[in-house]
Structure 1
Amino acid sequence: MARSPRQVAIDVMASTVRTGDEIRVGGQSMCVQDLQHVPGGAKRIKFASGDILTIAPTTTLTVLRTAEGWGRS
């Protein structure tokens, strides 16, 4: 995953994914716009594109996140 100097790649699970995270799906970077809790600990992720992805509590994803102390530009 390519990243800018302000972003770091980290592994997240359903419990730690955040709005603003960038997730690569099918070779395309997608920005998390909204999150909804789903019964059983899963999360429904809505992307800025309108696409939706539901992940189980044990699913691990690698995301790009702006490092603490750096604002988005």
Structure 2
Amino acid sequence: MARSEKQVAIEVDAASVLLGDEIQIGGRALSVLDLVHLSGGCKRVTFTSGETLIITPRTTLAVLRTVKGWDGPC
């Protein structure tokens, strides 16, 4: 079977957020463009829209992440 991509909802923190993650903020889906490590384990997240968000190690967010390797069309 062919490999396909699928978006899954997962919970992330400052240590596990990745480029390309899609974060829902204020009813808008924002895609992560850049991540910068800050002191104390914080990260500055820059979105494709140009907006930024600073998250601490205790911040948890629900994100949509595109994963590869799903079998079949679904």
- What is the TM-score normalised by the length of structure 1? 0.85
Separation in 1, partners of 2:56, 2:28: 21
Higher relative contact order (CA 8 A, sep 6+): 2
In structure 1, stretches of 5+ residues that fail to align are: none
Aligned residues: 66
Are 2:40 and 1:40 aligned?
yes
Identical residues among aligned pairs (%): 55
1:7-47 CA distances to partner (integer Å, 9 max, x unpaired)? 00000000000000000011100000000001000000000
In structure 2, stretches of 5+ residues that fail to align are: none
Q: CA RMSD in A?
A: 1.3
- What is the TM-score normalised by the length of structure 2? 0.84
1:57 aligns to what SS in structure 2?
A: coil
Residue 58 of structure 1 corresponds to 58
